[in-house]
Amino acid sequence: MEEAESRSYGTIMINFLDLEPAYAQHFKQVHGGKFWSIGPTPLFCRKSIRSTATNNSINGDQKDVFSWLDSQKPNSVLYVCFGGMVRFSAEQLREIAMALEGSGKPFLWVCRAPENISESGEEWLPEGFEERNRKQRRGFLIKGWAPQVQILDHPSVAGFMTHCGCNSLMEAMTAGVALITWPLFSEQFYNEKLIVDVLKCGIAAGSECWNEGFNITSPTVRRHKIQNAVCRLMSDSVEAEEIRRRANELKRMANRAVEQGGSSHSDLMDLISDLKIQTLGHGKHHAPLT
């Protein structure tokens, strides 16, 4: 990556300048060259994403998801998703399940079976868990792909338990949703530090060990830690209210960034202009973008 950066014409970031201005300035000083911060990208296409949620491209299962969300009180639901590739152990999934149920808070959980185990849930969920929570309308499970942007944008969703992937964090910020952080690999532990310690719009679940791949082998995070994080975020405490206030402040900052004249809108226009110059062959540099 360092070699690619040294040979590149410029760098594109999917965040926005006001999110971490000191880091952006440091990056410019250290790396030099062109730099465009054009995020959060979901906001540039939010209108089309919203329309997708109401047209015929939403299948029956997804309509059930939004019907369930519509039945919940505003700002009451915790959305739980760790990306499309992560596979927890059966033990960890049971701990998550018992923590969610024990919290008493409504939850929408995108859960995937451990590798080489049936998706039915019989081997990796507490007995009767799915049926019990669905009947009580307290929990809803998605065992597959989820329309995450639309879910986070729903008025009933107040919190998001996430692995701290960059796209998930940007999508949460554009929706003004507070976070429970559960980093697993790559740069995600750094992202957690940004969310919890710098931006102060989330609470850590207690994940401490870095994993090498998508099959998670780190020590199990126990239910009491998970449940404590859920109850802290989804409460009416002063701490929770302040975290939600910060999340909504970041949402406003993100929206300003993509408006005409905002930092991301301006950077995007500059990027398009630079690409036109490069394509027409009028530029002095013909190195790739990173």
What's the average pLDDT block by block, 10 residues per block, for the chain (290 residues)?
78 92 88 88 70 50 90 98 94 97 98 82 87 94 93 98 97 98 97 97 97 94 98 98 98 96 96 89 57
pLDDT of residue 56: 42
On the CB side of 185, CA atoms within 13 Å amount to 14
- Amino acid letter for position 168: S
- Six-digit token string for 91: 């033990």
CB 141 within 8 A of CB 98: no
Whole-prediction pTM: 0.90
**What Rg do the C-alpha atoms of the chain give, in angstroms?**
20
Handedness of CA 20, 187, 183, 120 (dihedral sign): positive
Sign of CA dihedral 60, 64, 65, 66: positive
> What is residue 160's three-state secondary structure?
strand
Domains of the chain with CATH codes = 60-254 (3.40.50.2000)
Q: Give me the pLDDT at residue 139, please.
A: 97
Q: Under 8 Å CB-to-CB from 34, ≥6 apart: which residues?
A: 9, 10, 11, 274
pLDDT at 284: 53
